[in-house]
Structure 1
């Protein structure tokens, strides 16, 4: 399905009935990466998975400014308005988790609950931010100058994704093909406009968010488990779950376990609303 939001055509899938859960994928991902989770959730919920700006079948604007968090979040808000959806359970992974958190803080009335998988609230120091911006700029140049295949070969071998080498070859090939199918300008501009360095730090705003929040990390992803543990301390109404035998992309590496946890969390929220 397609919908035009602020001059950008967004692609999304929609299935199931009930309360709405909106799924936001990570960098180099797409709505397709949620396949296993959607099958589980659509039994009880109205599930929307959207291709974020510059990813999948959604447009990839030339101007990297258009990818900034404030514009990406407004697109999501306007998407919900067009779809006549007042509020959602929002789930975001990695880059999509950062956007989900930004959206939840900017539009709290539109949030029923929040689920964040393997993400951060941003970088705290100017030194960290500048170093990350420099790193993302280099990656952006690699995509545009050396081509998407060179970039994907590099990206799939970074330490963050080392645990994905344990997946079946067919799954690894599917992930790789999904990355190769991305728009080079879309990925490049996502790094420049929505990268961790360029995004505003949200750490000081976490204690203002009161909606029920679930933080999920994989036990092998020590860096993000540490980060999310600190987020859990600052959030008012949150819990953190560490998934055994999983790295960064839990919904891929432990898809059934992840689906069970997410579904259970959402059904619990539904029970609370009824009572």
Structure 2
């Protein structure tokens, strides 16, 4: 019997390589993909290539030889995974989301996020990726990484971010940021597959979001990873992999 593949999707500023700490701990076969604006591929200047629809199409094209697969998505990759699961419920056998949300429902909050992402995108374009790498690492969302990741690990993250194309990051923010994408919380009840929402114990904002999402999804549970923040796959890769494996095999 052919084993079900697991498709892994990274977050904003990440890449397929950035998900190695998790992907290397999952049983084969594992497919790790780059999302629009990320990774070593060519960067398009067409904004249409950076929409959620384009991201979903790209993942499905890359997984075209997989009849059915499990999906794992971190942050922005989790939003993409949710859209794929809703679009192709017969192909997605399980869904594991790490620090993810279904969008921003409140119109005022959403408009504020769109404006903030546009301002950040413009600054990335004007000041460059080196400025951005330092800015992103200093965000409160990643504060736990300063004492949970080693100096070598943090340096590796910075190198990964420096490899990003500033145009790709800016276009990705404008087209696939949390505010830019239509919220899909009202559709979560349509998800028919097993779903695990993975959050770090110290990521209180996303822990609350995960609980709200789990209440709306028919077959969902929340897995809180101790001693971890937003990026549990980096701070606690063993525990995160165990949660993913349990979700995929259930």
Q: TM-score, normalised by structure 2?
A: 0.96
Q: How many residues align?
A: 248
Question: Residues of 1 paired with 2:72 and 2:40: CA distance?
Answer: 20
Q: Secondary structure at the match of 1:246?
A: coil
Secondary structure, aligned partner of 1:40: coil
For residues 172-205 of structure 1, the C-alpha deviation after alignment (integer angstroms, 9 at most, x for no partner) is: 0000110011011110100000000010110100
Distance 2:78 2:106 in 1: 20
Moved over 3 A (4+): none
Whole-angstrom CA distance in 1 between matches of 2:142 and 2:72: 20
1:179 matched residue in structure 2: 161
Secondary structure in structure 1 of the residue aligned to 2:71 = strand
1:1-275 aligned at under 5 Å gives the runs 18-41=3-26, 44-81=27-64, 84-166=65-147, 167-266=149-248, 268-269=249-250
What per-residue deviation string (whole Å, max 9, x for no partner) do you get for residues 52-80 of structure 1?
11101133211223211112101212222
For the 8 Å contact 2:144–2:229, the answer to whether it is kept is yes
Segments of 5+ residues of structure 1 without an aligned counterpart are 1-16, 270-275
**Aligned-partner SS, 1:102:** helix
- For residues 59 and 109 of structure 1, the distance between their equivalents in structure 2, rounded to whole angstroms, comes to 32
SS of aligned partner of 2:160: helix
Please say if residues 198 and 243 of structure 2, whose CA atoms lie closer than 8 Å, have aligned partners that are also in contact. Answer: no
- Let me know the Cα RMSD of the aligned residues: 1.2
TM-score in terms of structure 1 length: 0.87
CA contact (8 A) 1:40 1:263 kept: no
Distance 1:239 1:189 in 2: 33
> Secondary structure at the residue paired with 1:188?
helix
| CA deviation after TM superposition for structure 1 residue 261, in Å | 2.1
In structure 2, the gaps of 5 or more residues are none
Q: Does structure 2 conserve the Cα–Cα contact (< 8 Å) formed by 1:27 and 1:95?
A: yes
Q: More deviation in 68-77 or 224-233?
A: 68-77
Residues 132-176 of structure 1: CA deviation (Å, up to 9, x unaligned): 000000110111001111111111101000001011100000001
